[in-house]
Amino acid sequence: MSFKKLIVIGLALMLLVGVVGCSDDDSVKKYNLTVEPKTDGTGEVTVEPLKDKYEEGKEVTLTPSGKGEHSFDHWEGSGYDGNTDNSLTVEMTNDITLVAVFKDSVAPSSPTIEDISTGTYNSNQTFTISGETGATIEYSKDGGTSWTEYSSEVTLSKEKTHNLVARQTDDAGNTSSNTDAMKITIDKTAPNWTTEPNITTTADASSVGISSQVDEEGTIYYKVISDGVTKPTASEVKSAGNSNSISADTIKEITIDSLNAGTEYDIFFVAEDSAGNLQSESRVKKVEKVGESGVVINFQIGGGGIGVQSVNTKAEDKIIITEVELIIYEESDYDINGKNAKVVKNKTKTGSSLSDIGGIGLYLPSNNNYTLVAKLSGTINGKVESGIYQGTTETGILEAGATKSITMEVSLN
Ligand SMILES: [Ca+2]
Ligand SMILES: [Ca+2]
C-alpha cells in the first residue's frame, strides 16, 4: 500500500468517526426543569420557553404572578432559596427544581360587631361579631388596650361604659384595622337624692318652688295629690307626666303651679336616670297653699313654750308683726268661734318684728288636746292694725318639736 492510499484511508476513517460522532444525541447534555406551582389558588408561573427538556446552557425565564390576595414572595430550591427576582432567568447546567412561594399580603377589612349599638342601657347587652372565613376575630372592651379572642356571643353585664372595638387576623397574619369604637354604658342602678326635694319658695298663691339634686343625669317626675290621699307608687308618679330633666350633682329648681289657694297638697317626687332606672320609692313634700291675702304663722312647740316662726314670704314684705297674743283652749271646750270656751293659757309678747318677738314661754299640762288661737298686731303696708290677725291651729295633742300652722286671711290692700 502506498503512502497516498494510507492517507486516503486515514481521512476516510477520520470523516467516518466525525460523522458518527455528530449524529450521536447522547453527546449533547439535556436537563429537566421542574417548576411549582405551575398554577394553583395562590398563583402561577409562566416558563419561557416551555420544553420537556433543555439543552445544556439554555436560558429559561420564569415569571411568577399571584392570585387574589396573594402575591409573589420568593423562590425556593436548587440554590435559589430566598431569591426574590419576580422574573428569574436560569441557565440550564443541571436539573433544576424551583418553587415559587406566594403569600397573602392583604389585610382583611374590619369585622362587624352586630346586635348592639352605642347607647346607655339598664340591662345586660349581648353582641356577636362576624368576619372573614378562617380569620381569628378579637374584641376589646377598653378601646383596644386588652384583647380577647372571640368565639361566640358575648354579654356585657358590668355597670360601666364599655368601649367596644374588634379586629380580625387572616391565616397569613395580616390584621385588619379596628372597628370604630362603640360606647356601651350599662347602668342598672337608680339615681340617689343628694338633696331631697325641699320647698325653696312659696312663689305665690298658686305655685311653689322645689329644689333638689341627684347624683346622676336624668329626670325628676312629680305628682300633685290632695293631702292625705294614698301614696302613689313610683311608676304612678312618673305616669303623671310632669318631667324635668336634671344634670348630675346640680341643684334643680322646679316650679309647680296650678295649685289652688287655701288647699293642702302632698307632692310626690321620684328620680330616674337616663338609662331608665326609676327609683322604687317616691319622696313626698307637703305643701299648703294660702290665699293671696293669707298669712301662715308656724309655731314650733318646744318643751316649755311656743315659738312664732314665720309668715309666708309673699306677705312678709308687706307685714310687720309687732305683737303676738297666744290663747290656748282645751280642744273639747272650743267651738268654732271660741265662744264661752275657757282659756287655759293666754300670753302676749311684743317686739319690732316676728323674729324679735321670738319664743313665747307657756306651760301646758301634757297629753291634752288643745286649740291654739293667735292674735297678731302690726302694720300692713305701713298702716297700723291691731288684733286683726287671728287664726286657729288644727287641733290635737301638742307634741314637743311638732310644727303647727295657723292661717289667717287678711287683706293686704
Ligand atoms: Ca388576606
Ligand atoms: Ca344609674
pLDDT band at 391 (very low <50, low <70, confident <90, very high): low
> Which of the ligands is closest to the CA of residue 136?
1
Name the least confident of 12-16, 79-83, 233-237: 12-16
Task: Output the CA 195–ligand 2 centroid distance in Å.
Answer: 16
> Which of the ligands is closest to the CA of residue 176?
1
The pLDDT tens digits of the residues spanning 275-300 come to 999 999 998 888 776 554 455 566 65
pLDDT (mean) for 220-246 = 93
> Which of the ligands is closest to the CA of residue 276?
2
What is the pLDDT, as a whole number, of residue 396? 46
What is the pLDDT, as a whole number, of residue 309? 52
What is the pLDDT, as a whole number, of residue 18? 40
Task: Look up cell 436539573; give the residue.
Answer: 95
* Bridge partner list, 119: 184
pLDDT band at 1 (very low <50, low <70, confident <90, very high): very low
What is the pLDDT, as a whole number, of residue 163? 98
Task: Output the CA 2–ligand 1 centroid distance in Å.
Answer: 86
Q: Per-residue DSSP letters for 136-203? A: EEEEESBSSSS-EE--S-EEE-SSSEEEEEEEEE-TT--BPPPPPPEEEEE--S---EEEEEEEEEEE
pLDDT (mean) for 29-52 = 89
> Which of the ligands is closest to the CA of residue 170?
1
The pLDDT tens digits of the residues spanning 176-201 come to 999 999 999 999 999 999 999 988 86
What is the pLDDT, as a whole number, of residue 188? 97
Task: Output the CA 189–ligand 2 centroid distance in Å.
Answer: 4
What is the pLDDT, as a whole number, of residue 290? 57
* Domains of the chain with bracketed CATH: 27-104 (no CATH), 112-186 (2.60.40.650), 193-289 (2.60.40.10), 294-409 (2.60.40)
What is the pLDDT, as a whole number, of residue 315? 55
Question: What three-state secondary structure class fits 388?
Answer: strand
172 vs 344, residue with greater confidence: 172
The pLDDT tens digits of the residues spanning 137-149 come to 999 999 999 999 9
What is the pLDDT, as a whole number, of residue 378? 76
pLDDT (mean) for 152-171 = 97
CA distances from 87 to 33, 37, 67, 189, 326 (A): 16, 15, 16, 68, 115
pLDDT band at 101 (very low <50, low <70, confident <90, very high): very high
The pLDDT tens digits of the residues spanning 331-356 come to 777 765 666 777 877 888 888 877 78
What is the pLDDT, as a whole number, of residue 14? 43
Q: What is the dihedral of CA 62, 65, 70, 74, to 10 degrees?
A: 20
What is the pLDDT, as a whole number, of residue 243? 96
What is the pLDDT, as a whole number, of residue 404? 57
What is the pLDDT, as a whole number, of residue 164? 98
What is the pLDDT, as a whole number, of residue 111? 98
Name the least confident of 54-68, 258-272, 283-297: 283-297
Q: Three cell numbers at 366?
A: 301634757
pLDDT value at 386 more than 70: no
> Which of the ligands is closest to the CA of residue 108?
1
The pTM assigned to this predicted structure is 0.55
pLDDT (mean) for 246-255 = 94
Task: Output the CA 182–ligand 1 centroid distance in Å.
Answer: 25
Task: Output the CA 411–ligand 2 centroid distance in Å.
Answer: 49
Parallel, antiparallel, or unpaired for β 119-121 and 182-186? parallel
Task: Output the CA 41–ligand 1 centroid distance in Å.
Answer: 13
